[in-house]
Amino acid sequence: MKRANGALMSSRRAFLSGLAAFAATPAMAAAPLVSLRPMMRPAALLDDRVPSASDLVSRSGLGGRVGFVVADAATGDILEGMNPLFPLPPASVTKAVTCSYALERLGPDYRFETLILADGTITDGRLEGDLWLVGSGDPSFDTDTLAAMANALRGQGIRVVSGRLKIADGALPAIFEVDPSQPPHVGYNPAISGLNLNFNRVYFEWARQAGDYSIAMDARSETLRPAVQIARMRIADRDSPTYTYDHIDGRDHWTVARAALGDRGSRWLPVRRPSAYAAEVFLSLARAAGITFSDVALAPTAPPAAAVLVVHRSEPLDVLLRDMMRWSTNLTAEVVGLKATMAGGQRPDDLAQSAGAMSVWMRERLGARHAGFVDHSGLGDKSRLRPHDMVSALVAAGPSGALRQMMRAQPMLDGRGRPIADHPVAVAAKTGTLNFVSSLAGYARLPTGRDLAFAIFCADTARRDALTEAERERPEGARPYNQRAKRLQQQLIERWAALHGGAA
């Protein structure tokens, strides 16, 4: 206990020294604090030395609104709140809800399966009939895995398919893009299908050669770079916009401004017809393995009597979700959210229906009366969640539960933005970032071992709504807003650690 108390006193001194500068200046006008339950006030001296949350919010210089709630993660007792019942865009904090939704509906051991089936007879390496590539929506499926399946087919002695390669993608609804308001070329806004490949992105690469450019579009993975024709690029003699997109004759047609290219570079672009993309790449890989087909076609489902030749199973769901939380992959969030909705007995037509089902689930299971999601990733800025409801979900998940284990450690930073290696507060949380929206929700473990559950939502929706399409990728002022929001989030956590760091 002596060692713990020493750490506590040291940490409180550290928090107070970092926050004391705010206490000397009168607080500026800000939204009032709202406590959901009566709180015991800390010792008067400590209370006087720690700046109020209103002061911290005012000094952050953020426009719009800030809402937060912090609670004891073990008991659920609310310790402090500001605008706790005001719905705000959660951004990628939505993925934490999706995580819980998928774990409950599908289970941590759920695996996606991708199959190669034969609908016909096989004689002397020849399939008299059609070969089927059947997806279940695996968001982690990539070119290396597809190549391994083609090689496994070859290993079974198949050389010729008299019929067609058929692609069955009906396991999930076909969705053209997650959020229509995003710029057309951002790779984090992919299409969704029952058969996904490389997060439904194509790799665009360019290099200046002899006064012009060489360009390539491929489905690259760690070891392979098969060229594709489903997505095509043309260089246009203009300054802006940087990219344009059109969907013509079943292909993605892109143009890029010559003035934006420089000497060389690359970027991932979204694919809008994932199943056709996977079909083209599989044909290329199969032919490289010595397997020939007559044609290719898309279909929703394979015949029930088709024989299974090759099976690929994804990593378990808990592994996929941990990666999703770490890298904030939108495709994974949308796929597992759709699958969870379907596991509950509903076949959604689109993301909005599935996200609506998740909203109902959160209300019924967690008492989140005003949860309103438009997707499962948080990319759409019309989703709304109250800080109080997010904290309720975190308390329900438990400070030592699976959700916390999937959250990424969030380092506390010094004045120059560098991680503080020995900071006494350990934060595991999910971040969320959109233009003029910054959110953070998770758990903070104090030096005494006490766990806090918190949600901090910052949003200037009026400023975000005023952006033109050309401004949406890198709008002026968005980066400083995000930096100020993150600083405020850390200051609030330090405040709570100073005030509530005593024994639970």
In whole angstroms, give the CA distance from residue 342 to residue 41. 48
pTM of the model: 0.90
The predicted pLDDT at position 414 comes to 87
How many CB atoms sit inside 10 A of residue 206's CB? 19
Specify which residues 430 forms β-bridges with.
Answer: 441
How many CB atoms sit inside 10 A of residue 449's CB? 10
The predicted pLDDT at position 244 comes to 96
CA dihedral 408, 414, 415, 418 (to 10 degrees): -70
Cβ atoms 281, 228 nearer than 8 A: yes
The predicted pLDDT at position 366 comes to 87
Which domains, from first to last, does the chain contain? Answer: 2-88+386-500 (no CATH), 90-109+316-382 (no CATH), 112-314 (3.50.80.20)
CA 125 to each of CA 116, 260, 483: distance values in angstroms, whole numbers, following the listed order = 15, 51, 61
Is residue 429 helix, strand or coil?
Answer: strand
Cβ atoms 66, 458 nearer than 8 A: yes
- Residue ranges of the chain with per-residue pLDDT less than 70: 1-48, 502-504
- pLDDT, one tens digit per residue, over 26-45 is 322 233 333 333 344 444 44
- pLDDT, one tens digit per residue, over 85-130 is 999 999 999 999 999 999 999 999 999 999 999 999 999 999 999 9
How many CB atoms sit inside 10 A of residue 188's CB? 17
| Residue 341 CA to its chain's centroid (Å) | 18
User: Which among 453, 460, 454, 452 has a CA at the least distance from the CA of 484?
Assistant: 460
Q: What one-character-per-residue DSSP string does 345-396 give?
A: T---SSHHHHHHHHHHHHHHHH--TT-B-SSSSS-STT-BB-HHHHHHHHHH
In whole angstroms, give the CA distance from residue 450 to residue 111. 35
The predicted pLDDT at position 38 comes to 35
In whole angstroms, give the CA distance from residue 96 to residue 390. 9
The predicted pLDDT at position 210 comes to 84
